[in-house]
Structure 1
Amino acid sequence: MKQRGRHRRRRRGRALRAALTGAALALTGAATLISASQATVADDPGALKPLTSAAGTDALRLTEHRVPRPWLDRLSAAMGEPVGVDTVLDSADHRLRESSDCTAGERESLPVSPAATRAYCWDDADTEGWRPGAVTTSGDADEDGRWGTHRVILSAWSRDDGMPQGGLARVSFVDADDPADLGYTSALLAVPVDGGHDYRGLASPVTGMVWYQDKLLVTTAAGDSDALYVYDVERVQRVTTAANAVGRVPGGWAADGYGYVLPAVASYRLSDTEGAARPGAISLDRGTAPDSLVASERVAADGDRPTRLWRYALRTATDPERTGLPVTDSGGHVNAVEAYETGAAEIGGLLSHRPAGAARSEWYLGRAAGGQDGRGTLWRQNTEGARATECGSDRSQRCWSGRAGSLSYWARTGEVWSQSGRMLFAVPLTSIEDALD
């Protein structure tokens, strides 16, 4: 069970390092300002349009499928008792490099404006052949910003090397207690099969990820019949062999060479309605009652229809097996409680945040550059209009990270975390607001 706690150690050192890192990154942003300012101004997506028709909201419905408890118990009985986040963090076998130790090419993927105040690059050897995916943190998991005594960042990666077991996905658990020393290790994402006698790898890129209470919600790409998978962070299983295979093998259990595997505990299937919306980017909004999961779909820049944004209510019931899951009706359906259409396309990151005292939430959309080349844009949008961050003498809007990644707001620190290329970075939400206003 989660043990709550807060540490105040090294705060002065952290503040100093953050200031120095911010100064270094500001110089990086200045160096790339000219190339960003030459980019074409992005199209204004306009105001959000509420989606209220039954036909429109039915397309956002998901149907819950729980992995039977006996399956999970059978897997644990065969593999050994599950371990928690603390055990995984204690096994950190890789280190992230601070921005000053990253190459100029790696830093090119950082935003120009607003500039990141903290940034790190991943271990080259560990990420070769893998594509970066979504990011979430213990700031999502719990209001105190910690899981137990630790500050934690979770980063999803998908295999991209053409190997026979291609399509695998993993999550890297990052110990973020010391901003100057981020260690991590990874667990393979899996799905129990054969009644819990075996498991297979999650055969899809991870497009979005939210850690809420003890559940990790993960969205998948087109091609998977299930649009959303759920994992329990207290059900991480150790493997017994480093074989480059997945599942039960002669002599034990394997996870493509990783030391841990995380089996799914539930999944959510798309609606049978024509034009069903597949959740792509997702994030957590604590400004609603109850807390909610917000989602966007991915529509291509040359698509002929609007993009849909919506939210699902999250469960806060005391039942430990259901805590952290989306709210379902009596038929096991997850229904959207709010939905909009937007003119924005190629959304790679999404936030919904309601400032203190505000009557409504603001939606922040990280949009990829056209054709995935160049810099992306960051928009704030509501039912009255939209505005993008700008940079350069010509007020270009191509100021955000190149391949716009997921957005995760850490309320305790006021930071928005994201990932682009090999760079993991944080930008204060106040800096984003300043750049927009």
Structure 2
Amino acid sequence: MKQRGRHRRRKRGQALRAFLAGTALALTAAATMISTSQATVAANPGTLKPLTSAAETAPLRLRESLVPQRALDRLSSEMGRPVGVSAVLDSADRSLRDAIECTAGERAALPVEPTATAAYCWDTADTRSWRAGAVTTSGDADDDGRWGANRVILSAWSRTGTAADGGGLARVAFVDANDLDQLTYSWVLLAVPVDDGRDFRGLVSQVSGMVWYQNKLLVTASGDGGDALYVYDMDRVQRATVDSAAVGRVRGGWSAHGAQWVLPAVGSYRLTDQAGATRPDYLSLDRSTAPDSLVASEWISGAGDTGARMWRYDFSADPRRSGLLATATGGYARAAEAYVTKASGSGPVLSRDSQWYLGRAARAEGDHGTLWRQNASNPAKATRCGTDETRSCWSGEAESLSYWEQTGDVWSQSGRVLFALPLASIDRSLK
């Protein structure tokens, strides 16, 4: 029976790969209709320019601030004993659709070249009024690619609309990825303790960047005051006891805007008060450095000649500071390496073996974007597709690049589509 089960999964995987290859052919055919002028939509950004002076790197400095332990203890004593990732996965009550069940409109968000090898679509009703953001996985969290016994994908979403109806709230889908033929998930609301741990509020931010490293989850805080990053402890998930649109303490218990779980922040990294302080907009993990590092980039409009900055922070090697950034006197985290790229308008960033990968958003809704690879010594290269070799081959709305080292895959999402493809295929497609 077990052998037949494995055989069915293998045949289903083969059928899915064939289907995705057919989808890629259709997208490539559409790309051949792009005019030559559109094919050169972005000039080659050349090489990366290193930033080495103190004046250039000082605006990248962040200051660490940890939530007092008494506040965390008070909140957990009120809400109940915290749980970990496995408890959230055990409660998964929702499923993603695989690529065959996605609509043609949803599949149009996939890259043209290289071809996705796995793709899934989120439920329309479950994600209505929410915007997809960053992705990170247990491949980031631990060097064996698992968290405990589980393979996990985390997918961030931010609510659209006004503050009155929950606009700006951020939540994360904890996806059980043990069986890639059947992904299930449960929602966790990102929160911030207030009133010394007597209550919590929702994080108000578009989560364009998110990295799970060791037992910490770091997320961007673009709309939440002066904080640049929030830090969450993956062993401090709290259960919501009241199902309502409210957030925080309510009559009868605790509510998380309909989510089953709450993850309260345990710390943050704030922008310094220097003029020109730079907020990280996109994040990823680089395990090819020593020590492992948090990669960050800023978003700069594609208009004008202003270059966008990309940089990295070292993670702490102190076992008492697992998952936190390395800090110097005063609690400051300083950039370990920084560059400027002329690929303005870029979004997601990934760094590995001194190569930097940058996704550039599409110029118009429904179009495809560009994926560049740059370093400090060689001209940039981009994925190309179609008979006219257009660079508009990448997903148009993807806001994340997360490399799962144990499988060699890069995970991202665009709109309601979560997808993966080998980093090796990205490198082959760069011309």
TM-score by length of 2: 0.95
Aligned counterpart, 2:406? 412
SS of structure 2 residue aligned to 1:148: coil
SS of structure 2 residue aligned to 1:398: coil
For residue 45 of structure 1, report the CA deviation from its aligned partner: 1.2
Aligned counterpart, 1:343? 342
Question: What number of residue pairs does the alignment pair up?
Answer: 422
CA contact (8 A) 2:245 2:258 kept: yes
1:30 matched to 2:25? yes
1:318 matched to 2:319? yes
Aligned counterpart, 2:226? 225
CA contact (8 A) 2:294 2:313 kept: yes
For residue 396 of structure 1, report the CA deviation from its aligned partner: 0.1
Evaluate the alpha carbon distance shift between residue 40 and residue 242 of structure 1 in structure 2; reply closer, same or farther with a 3 A threshold.
same
Letter in 2 for 1:145: G
Cα distance in 2, alignment partners of residues 341 and 226 from structure 1: 23
Aligned counterpart, 1:367? 360
Q: What pairs up with 1:238-257 in 2 under 5 angstroms? A: 238-257=239-258
Letter in 2 for 1:316: A
Evaluate the alpha carbon distance shift between residue 69 and residue 12 of structure 1 in structure 2; reply closer, same or farther with a 3 A threshold.
farther
**Which stretch of structure 1 is more off in the superposition, 107-116 or 342-351?**
342-351
Letter in 2 for 1:197: R
Evaluate the alpha carbon distance shift between residue 347 and residue 433 of structure 1 in structure 2; reply closer, same or farther with a 3 A threshold.
same
For residue 277 of structure 1, report the CA deviation from its aligned partner: 1.2
Letter in 2 for 1:365: L
Cα distance in 2, alignment partners of residues 267 and 215 from structure 1: 11
Aligned counterpart, 2:427? 433
Cα distance in 1, alignment partners of residues 55 and 24 from structure 2: 45
What are structure 1's unaligned runs of at least 5 residues?
A: 1-8, 355-360
Letter in 2 for 1:422: R
Cα distance in 2, alignment partners of residues 385 and 306 from structure 1: 16
Cα distance in 2, alignment partners of residues 142 and 219 from structure 1: 21
For residue 405 of structure 1, report the CA deviation from its aligned partner: 2.0
For residue 364 of structure 1, report the CA deviation from its aligned partner: 0.5
Letter in 1 for 2:392: R
Cα distance in 2, alignment partners of residues 313 and 166 from structure 1: 33
Cα distance in 2, alignment partners of residues 192 and 206 from structure 1: 18
CA contact (8 A) 2:295 2:350 kept: yes
Cα distance in 1, alignment partners of residues 11 and 291 from structure 2: 37
Aligned counterpart, 2:397? 403
Q: What pairs up with 1:278-293 in 2 under 5 angstroms? A: 278-293=279-294
Aligned counterpart, 1:176? 177
Aligned counterpart, 1:261? 262
Letter in 2 for 1:397: R
For residue 18 of structure 1, report the CA deviation from its aligned partner: 3.7
Aligned counterpart, 1:159? 159
Aligned counterpart, 1:122? 122
Evaluate the alpha carbon distance shift between residue 386 and residue 12 of structure 1 in structure 2; reply closer, same or farther with a 3 A threshold.
farther
Cα distance in 2, alignment partners of residues 258 and 90 from structure 1: 15
For residue 35 of structure 1, report the CA deviation from its aligned partner: 2.9
Deviation digits for residues 255-295 of structure 1 (CA, Å, limit 9, x no counterpart): 00111100000101112222211101110000111000010
For residue 10 of structure 1, report the CA deviation from its aligned partner: 7.4
Deviation digits for residues 356-400 of structure 1 (CA, Å, limit 9, x no counterpart): xxxxx1101111112555111111100122000000010000000
CA contact (8 A) 2:48 2:339 kept: yes
CA contact (8 A) 1:316 1:324 kept: no
Sequence identity (%): 59
